[in-house]
Amino acid sequence: MRDELAYRLPKAELHVHAEACLEPELLLQIAERNGHDLPYASIDEVRRAYEWSDLGAFLDLYYRHIEVLRTETDFRQLVESYMSHAAEQGVRHVEMFFDPQAHTRRGVPLATVVDGLAAGLDSGAREHGISGALIACFIRELGVESAQETLAELAELPAFERIVGIGLDSIEEGFPPPLFAPLYAQARALGLLGVIHAGEAGPGENVGLALSVLGVERIDHGVRCGDDAASIAALRERGTALTVCPLSNVRIGMYETLADHPVAQLLRDGLEVTINSDGPAYFGGYIADNWVAVQRQFDLDVDDLVTLARRSIAVSFATAERKAQLL
């Protein structure tokens, strides 16, 4: 009964990367269409490749698979594939990350990427009633200047209006949030909101730094915030939401099992936790699959699930009108 509720409750997904929605079947289909050679003879071989020891190993495979994506159709199909799964998982609103630099550095024009993703959002709205927007994530190890140049190019696109915010992802260690202060200032000036992957593979103090220096609206992951009292205090004081992705953290090897994951503690501590998929094609589940896994592991009750659902909508960047429809 609680499993069914986890699927059925209307919810928003706030931490999912478009490029990590590339299911093995779609990967092979797009590779074949684009004449892109992959080192796999079958779906099973692709699935066997989805095993890593850490974030770096995951990112290597993720960026290699991204290379199959070349046309507007590819990007549209990626989002459409997500939308059809998400509809079955009770998703009514999605804020989808994409990595513009992962495409421009291979020579794929930004307009191709954003127009394709926007067409996928349109299909989701039309076919499943799911509202959606994009969040442009920048690859931290490419540095602040590359991110700023890419953001300026995004702002020139007709489809720029589909982008509601910016984020930072990829390698966290060695790239503390303050390095990116000029990027977040530029984003604000363009009318965008800010999120950031922080306190995932990097130290918990990155959460507090992201709040105090960058002024972000949400923290992606943030699961290591418990290591840093100042970060916890800042999260509480501001009521900032965390977009936690438990199955991703376990698959990437941050925690040996779900039982070791701090999500239940963070919920008990009264932080504004949301539970999301991160990359459903890579981490063993879509959003409600994550909810069910956490609910079974930590014995969440009906009220906990209802709180998660309502909070996901409340802390989303949806318009007040859309929130009123969903809450």
The residue ranges that bind Zn ion (CB under 5 A) are 278
Q: Which is nearer to ligand HPA, 137 or 305 (CB)?
A: 137
Annotated binding site for Zn(2+): 15, 17, 197, 278
Report the site for ligand HPA in 236-275 (rule: CB under 6 A).
248
Say how many Å lie between the first and final Cα of the chain, rounded. 22
Annotated binding site: 15, 17, 197, 278
Q: Which is nearer to ligand HPA, 21 or 292 (CB)?
A: 21
Q: Does residue 93 interact with ligand HPA by CB under 6 A? A: no
Residue 200 contact among Zn ion, ligand HPA, none, beta carbon within 5 to 8 Å by kind: ligand HPA
CB of 50 to ligand HPA, least distance (A): 14
How many helices (H) and strands (E) in the chain?
16, 8
CB of 281 to Zn ion, least distance (A): 13
Contacts of 18 (CB under 8 A, 6+ apart): 75, 78, 79, 82, 96, 97, 98, 117, 120
β-pair partners for 93: 12, 131
CB of 58 to ligand HPA, least distance (A): 8
Report the site for ligand HPA in 160-199 (rule: CB under 6 A).
169-170, 197
- Establish how many alpha carbons lie within 13 A of residue 305's alpha carbon, considering only the half-sphere containing its beta carbon: 26
Candidate list 9, 13, 14, 17; residue touching ligand HPA; CB under 6 A: 17
Question: Do residues 163 and 157 touch, judged by C-beta distance below 8 A?
Answer: no
CB of 8 to ligand HPA, least distance (A): 27
Round to whole Å and give the CA distance between 81 and 94.
Answer: 13
Q: Which is nearer to ligand HPA, 65 or 92 (CB)?
A: 65
C-alpha dist (Å) from residue 163 to 306, 313, 315: 28, 18, 17
Annotated catalytic sites, by residue?
200
Helix (H) or strand (E) holding 11: strand 11-17
Candidate list 165, 279, 280, 285; residue touching ligand HPA; CB under 6 A: 279
Round to whole Å and give the CA distance between 109 and 112.
Answer: 5
Residue ranges in contact with ligand HPA by CB under 6 A: 17, 20, 169-170, 197, 200, 248, 278-279
